[in-house]
Structures are given as structure tokens and as C-alpha cells.
């Protein structure tokens, strides 16, 4: 079946002409036009890995409920510093509502802005230079995968340089590039790496950091701090990052997969943790803290689950995250609801205590004010937050960047942001992988080191598996 390109271009031209009249009549500046259409999934097929290679800026997100792929960047708002969420809200609310050619729910609820936010509001380092501290950006082209159908959205920003003819040419060129036949790229790719022994914590260094953290906890300056490790890996050839999103999705079907490419840098991962999901002022968030590895047999797995459910240390750590989130939501939301006994969320190599929390935004509250209040949670930072952030800065000798930050999307009526853990940063022949664990009273340095090793498997196993 051939893609009806001529018909699409003709429809696009008509949309531009009709929208242009509306823009001229209302004197709108920097108006976003979104040309929406749908086609059968077979046009793109199962392998869209060429898109990760061909474009300098790519955003991919896959969850058990939804899957998106964004290409390009036509408009961006960004900020940094301690008031970053207030500043980004000001810029976001000034952006005019987009004009769509179809107002079907699949298009209305699809992402308008993709979102990335670093863990620290202030810290900077060279390896994260291509990523802004907090950025909301509109992709040139968005693909939403759903039930055998592709829902597509081509975005164009109308300003004083806009031309219908040039935009139609750009649309045609991009469509052809996206849907080109790339069958020859389907091949097995194994990414062999070796550890860079000069970087990363040894067990001795890690033990020393945990012991320092425990001293602060026993001095009652804080009750919890989350310390992270960063491993540096080297490869003989540049990493075949284009195969990794599909691998992560297959290996972690219940996780939130994310992939962000900025020029030569790629940040990706498989997070078990949603910070916030918003739809029609209804909020879903979750507390994830407390863990055990998965068992090698069903019997061992059940034993480890029971151990997790009955561990006073793990239950207390989990409860502190629930209390933090619920307490900080209390002034911004109503109808806060959650189960008193946590569930166990089972992932490929680890299982966690998990509690889903629901609430409703109060009048005058916003998504941004909620994020500002609950991020970073004690699950990735500690408690109290400011003291934990200071201790992390003192003890960790690397910049977390987007690790433990936020990745996701926002539209006028909905949003979804996940906590960017179980993740890695790739630049050509270098891979940085990250994992952390919560240090509380009763923590044992050896056990916490082993926990980070388990968490690192999510990414490390992905590199060496066949496509």
C-alpha cells in the first residue's frame, strides 16, 4: 500500500490557507498550527529505528498505556534556578492555544510540549551541556502509536517568515523521510563495553559515603538521603543507540520507557516511577521506595516479596515518601486518596513497595505548583529536601543532570511526567549509567551497594542483549 502523499499535501495546503485567514483576522503572533491525520500502522512498521539516527533531536516515550515519538524542535521555553517552575509556568501560560484541523480526542490529548528537567535547579557540568536545565519544547512532527493506527501531528509556527509554499515543501520532505523503507537496518547489534576503572565508586569509597550519611542521620539533621552511583563505560565503536528503545520496551513492559536525543547525546531509561499524571484536574502520583531483587525461581521471588513486605526499615522508608507527597499535596489538592498498605511492583530485575495516590487540583492550583512542591521526592532525594540536596552535593562527585529529574509531556488538558531513574547518558563511545538507594537509620553499606548493582542491571543488560 502506498502512502497517499499527494492527498496529504493537498489537505495540508488547504489547512494552511484557512488557518492563515483566521490568524490574519485576529492578528495572532507566533501561532502554532497543528495538521493532524491518521494512517494504518503498517506504513511505519515495527522498525522505526532509522528515525533515532536521522534527526538531531528526538523524543520517544512508551508506557503500558501510550507510545509517542517526536522529531525536531520548533519552539522551546526554558529556565533554571530555584524558581524554575514558577518561571516556566509564566512562559507556558503565555503560549496561545494551537489551531488544529481535527479536534478528535486522540489529537487533543496528545503531547503539545515535551518536558525535561534536571535533578538540580542549579548544578552544571560539561557532559550535560546539550540539555537545558528545565525545558518545554514543541516537536516538528509527532507520532502517536495506538491500536494499529498512527495518529500524526505536524506542527508549524507562523511568524513573519512563514510561507505556505515553503511549509508544504518541508511537510512533503519530512513525511517521505519518516516513512522511507529501512528494512536493511534490521540486524543484530551487540554493544560490548568495558568499565572505566578510573571513574565510579569503589566499594570502599561507597562505604565511606554511606557512613558519613549515617552520621548526619544519627545527628538528627535529616532522616533520609538518597545517594547515587555513576559508572562510566567505554565501547570500541560508537553505541548503536537506535536499537535501545525497543529493547528497553521489550525487557521492561511495565516500566515507563524514555529516550531523548540532543545532537550527539542520548539520555534514556526505563523508569518504574510516575511523578504525576494529570487529566481534567485529576492527579495520579505514586510513592515507590523499598526494594528487593527478583528471585531466580517463583519460590525465591515470593520469599523476597514477603521479606520486603515485612521489613520495618523498608516500610518506614516507604511511608516517609507517602507522607511527604500527601502532605505537600494537601494545600493544593482535595480528595487525596491512597491505600494504607503498599502494593509490590515487580519489574524485570527488582521489586518495589508502591502506593498510588490520587487527588483533585483545587481552584487556583496548577500542575507547576504541584511539581514544585513534590519534586524531588524523598524516593530520589531524601528528607528534609533541602538538607538532603546539600548532602548529595557534598558526597556525590558527579552531576546527576537529568538522572532522577523529570521526563514527560504536557498538553492543554493533560500531562504525564516520570522520574528519570534506571537510566543512562550516551555520547558516542562513552556511556554513563546511574543508580541510587535510600540511606536511612539501619542502612548497611554493603546491602545498599548490592541494591544499586541490582538497579544497574536494567540498563546494563540492555546493552549486551541481541536486538
Q: pLDDT of 228-269, one tens digit each?
A: 999 999 888 888 899 899 999 999 999 999 999 999 999 999
Identify whether 173 is preceded by a cis peptide bond (ω within 30 of 0): no
pLDDT at 200 over 90: no
Closest CA to 295 of 343, 350, 358: 350
Q: So what's the pLDDT on residue 388? A: 96
- Region 308-313 average pLDDT: 94
Q: So what's the pLDDT on residue 189? A: 63
Q: So what's the pLDDT on residue 43? A: 77
Between 465 and 180, whose confidence is greater? 180
Confidence of residue 373 (pLDDT cuts 50, 70, 90): very high
Confidence of residue 184 (pLDDT cuts 50, 70, 90): very low
Cell (9 digits) for 133 = 536545565
Whole-angstrom distance, CA of residue 187 vs CA of residue 240: 11
Quote the pTM value: 0.93
Q: So what's the pLDDT on residue 17? A: 87
Q: So what's the pLDDT on residue 188? A: 54
Q: So what's the pLDDT on residue 264? A: 92
pLDDT at 467 over 50: no
Q: So what's the pLDDT on residue 363? A: 93
Residue with cell 550519611: 213
pLDDT at 186 over 80: no
| Weakest-pLDDT range from 166-180, 192-206, 302-316 | 192-206
- Dihedral sign, Cα of residue 118, residue 123, residue 128, residue 129: positive
Confidence of residue 124 (pLDDT cuts 50, 70, 90): confident
- Region 429-456 average pLDDT: 93
- Region 130-159 average pLDDT: 92
Q: So what's the pLDDT on residue 148? A: 81
Between 109 and 346, whose confidence is greater? 346
Amino acid at each position: 500500500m502506498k502512502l497517499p502523499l499527494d492527498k496529504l499535501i493537498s489537505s495540508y495546503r488547504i489547512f494552511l490557507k484557512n488557518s492563515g485567514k483566521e490568524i490574519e483576522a485576529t492578528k495572532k503572533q507566533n501561532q502554532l498550527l497543528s495538521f493532524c491525520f491518521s494512517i494504518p500502522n503498517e506504513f511505519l512498521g515495527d522498525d522505526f529505528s532509522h528515525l533515532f539516527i536521522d534527526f538531531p533531536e528526538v523524543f520517544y516515550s512508551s508506557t503500558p498505556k501510550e507510545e509517542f515519538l517526536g522529531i525536531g524542535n520548533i519552539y522551546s521555553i526554558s529556565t533554571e534556578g530555584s524558581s524554575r517552575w514558577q518561571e516556566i509556568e509564566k512562559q507556558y501560560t503565555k503560549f496561545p492555544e494551537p489551531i488544529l484541523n481535527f479536534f478528535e480526542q486522540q489529537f487533543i490529548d496528545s503531547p503539545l510540549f515535551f518536558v525535561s528537567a534536571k535533578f538540580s535547579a542549579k548544578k552544571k557540568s560539561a557532559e550535560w551541556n546539550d540539555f537545558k536545565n528545565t525545558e518545554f519544547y514543541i516537536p516538528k512532527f509527532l507520532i502517536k502509536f495506538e491500536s494499529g493506527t498512527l495518529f500524526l501531528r505536524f506542527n508549524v509556527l507562523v511568524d513573519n517568515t512563514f510561507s505556505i509554499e515553503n511549509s508544504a515543501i518541508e511537510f512533503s520532505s519530512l513525511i517521505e523521510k519518516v516513512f522511507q523503507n529501512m528494512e536493511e537496518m534490521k540486524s543484530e547489534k551487540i554493544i560490548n563495553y568495558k568499565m572505566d576503572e578510573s571513574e565510579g565508586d569503589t566499594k570502599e569509597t561507597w562505604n565511606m559515603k554511606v557512613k558519613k550519611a549515617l552520621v548526619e542521620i544519627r545527628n538528627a539533621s535529616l532522616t533520609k538521603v538518597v545517594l547515587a552511583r555513576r559508572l562510566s563505560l567505554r565501547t570500541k565503536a560508537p553505541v548503536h543507540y537506535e536499537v535501545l528503545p525497543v529493547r528497553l520496551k521489550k525487557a521492561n513492559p511495565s516500566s515507563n520507557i524514555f529516550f531523548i536525543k540532543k545532537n550527539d547525546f542520548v539520555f534514556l531509561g526505563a523508569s518504574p516511577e510516575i511523578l504525576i499524571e494529570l487529566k481534567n484536574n485529576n492527579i495520579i502520583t505514586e510513592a515507590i521506595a523499598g526494594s528487593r531483587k527478583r528471585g531466580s525461581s517463583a519460590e525465591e521471588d515470593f520469599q523476597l516479596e514477603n521479606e520486603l513486605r515485612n521489613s520495618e526499615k523498608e516500610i518506614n522508608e516507604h511511608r516517609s515518601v507517602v507522607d511527604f507527597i500527601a502532605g505537600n499535596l494537601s494545600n493544593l489538592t482535595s480528595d487525596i486518596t491512597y491505600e494504607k498498605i503498599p502494593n509490590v511492583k515487580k519489574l524485570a530485575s527488582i521489586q518495589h513497595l508502591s502506593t498510588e495516590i490520587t487527588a483533585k487540583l483545587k481552584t487556583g492550583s496548577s500542575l507547576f505548583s504541584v511539581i514544585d512542591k513534590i519534586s524531588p521526592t524523598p524516593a530520589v532525594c531524601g528528607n528534609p529536601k533541602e538538607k538532603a540536596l546539600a548532602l548529595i552535593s557534598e558526597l556525590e562527585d558527579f552531576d546527576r543532570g537529568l538522572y532522577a529529574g523529570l521526563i514527560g509531556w504536557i498538553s492543554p488538558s493533560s500531562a504525564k511526567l516520570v522520574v528519570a531513574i534506571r537510566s543512562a547518558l550516551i555520547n558516542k563511545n562513552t556511556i554513563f549509567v546511574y543508580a541510587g538507594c535510600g540511606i536511612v537509620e539501619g542502612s548497611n553499606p554493603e546491602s545498599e551497594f548490592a541494591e544499586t548493582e541490582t538497579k544497574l542491571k536494567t540498563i546494563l543488560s540492555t546493552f549486551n542483549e541481541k536486538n
